[in-house]
Amino acid sequence: MAVAESAPVVVPVSQLAVRRVAIDTWRENVAYLHRDCAVYRAEGFQALSKIEVRSNGRRILATVNVVDDLSIVGCQELGLSEDAFAQLGVSDGHTVTVSQAEPPESMGALFRKIAGERLAREDFHAIVRDIARHRYSKIELTAFVVACNRDELDREEVFFLSDAMVATGQRLDWHEPRVVDKHCIGGIPGNRTSMLIVPIVAAHGMLCPKTSSRAITSPAGTADTMEVLANVELPLEQLADIVRDHRGCLAWGGTAQLSPADDVLISVERPLSIDSPGQMVASILSKKIAAGSTHLVLDIPIGPTAKVRSMPEAQRLRRLFEYVARRLQLSLDVVITDGRQPVGSGIGPVLEARDVMRVLENDPRAPNDLRQKALRLAGRLIECDPDIRGGDGYAIARDILDSGRALARMRDIIAAQGGKDFDHNHPPLGPLSFEVLAPASGVVAGIDNLQIARIARLAGAPKVQRAGVDLLCKLGDAVTAGDVLYRVYAGYAADLEFARQASSRASAYRIGTADDLPRVFVEF
């Protein structure tokens, strides 16, 4: 029996002049239509519906917002948010065609995940492909993130998600058999070991192209701190030249389009404070594979206020990382470290850059915990070299640091990335400050990582580079009532007051006795 073919769907198309609306919608394409726009009224659009915008052979999907102010967008105009305008790549006033958008092809797979089903490899590839192309609204992204968090992905699903995230962006190839990197799962303020590890490992001769993210919920990321010393937003060609010349770099990874779906997913994960193990593993490993890494040392800190709070939890996470890394053919060395307190003294871009440069210059004021942690992690990376015997890496790393070779390599990298004037003896700190004092005599028995990071962010970090918290006491230090525990710096009076109020409610420090110190069993 013959089956009549269905008539093709005809999608109405209308033309409008595009207008750039200077609103940062953070990884979401948003279109603005005036309520009295003939297209809006005729096509049956409504707020939060999706439209397709085409021009010059390019197309984007965008979520509709309705405007009543003609000064924002006129009746013959289509307003586009910053992200959407940049993706479409046309000038103000250019004519674009607008039509109702077809649902993303992967919507069926998304609905199955929401229902709690286990998805196949092709399902994850379809979903991640649509996410990378900005075909999902924030509501749909949130549904996917929550569904993956509620019904935790099994380890094979985590591999499928990681593999799909690698496939959607660029994948760098350095044409070398061994490309090393180090990463921390986060949650520990001041943990700027990467800025020490890169010059140490590069001075040893290993290739270490470090592309880092900016801080989203922390007081500073590696890219934010490196930006105090040099430019971090580099074209991919320049970044490659620097790596070839100096065996390493410290740059922001956003310009390289590595695992772009991860950047979109982070835009909804972080506001929801969702950081499930599966999504964490996929996020970290997809970025490392896309960046061309072959060998990775992964830092998992554990402590009462770290992301991971017990050894059994750390071991479960380690096994998941190792399984997915093995499937992705990435050599992985997981190190479980002490996350009971911040690393170093400074929290915030300028203060953390000060600590890094003091360690590199072997300054006696350098924080020893930052130095030692960086040396041990660098040693583990150096042991990826087949010519180095296991256990010898630490001594080699220490020699490179003590001899000044790491400092020389860091200065070369800084100069190549467009160095900025910075004197760690006179760091440009915020002009406004206050001190937090010990309420009683005793021993520093606890430091809340989350609260001290929150105080630093309220003070303005990382957007205000010179803002942050300078720790004067660490775990185990004896204090007398009235001693300064830490000093807060801010660039603006409002930020200073927000930080002051937060610290007065909870200082982040607990004073007790030596017996009250939290115990944690780590690998070094």
Is residue 214 within 8 Å of 241, Cβ to Cβ? no
Is residue 121 within 8 Å of 109, Cβ to Cβ? no
**CA proximity to 254, closest of 225, 219, 223, 275:** 223
Q: CA-CA distance, 380 to 388, in Å (whole number)? A: 10
Q: CA-CA distance, 424 to 350, in Å (whole number)? A: 9
DSSP label at 98? Answer: E
Q: CA-CA distance, 466 to 261, in Å (whole number)? A: 32
- β-strand 331-338 against 509-512: which pairing, if any? unpaired
C-alpha pair distances (Å), 239 with each of 104, 173, 175, 209, 256: 35, 13, 15, 9, 9
385 catalytic residue (yes or no):
no
Buried b (16+ CB within 10 A) or exposed e, 1-28: eeeeeeeeeeeeebebebbbbebebbbb
Is residue 8 within 8 Å of 1, Cβ to Cβ? no
Is residue 34 within 8 Å of 98, Cβ to Cβ? no
Largest CA distance in the chain: 93
Instruction: Check 151, 241, 275, 399 and give the catalytic one.
Output: 275
Q: CA-CA distance, 18 to 500, in Å (whole number)? A: 45
C-alpha pair distances (Å), 35 with each of 24, 72, 76, 77, 400: 22, 12, 11, 11, 65
Q: Extract the tokens encoding 391.
A: 């256990």
Q: Which residues pair with 347 in a beta bridge?
A: 469
- β-strand 484-490 against 468-471: which pairing, if any? antiparallel
Q: Which positions are annotated as active-site residues?
A: 275
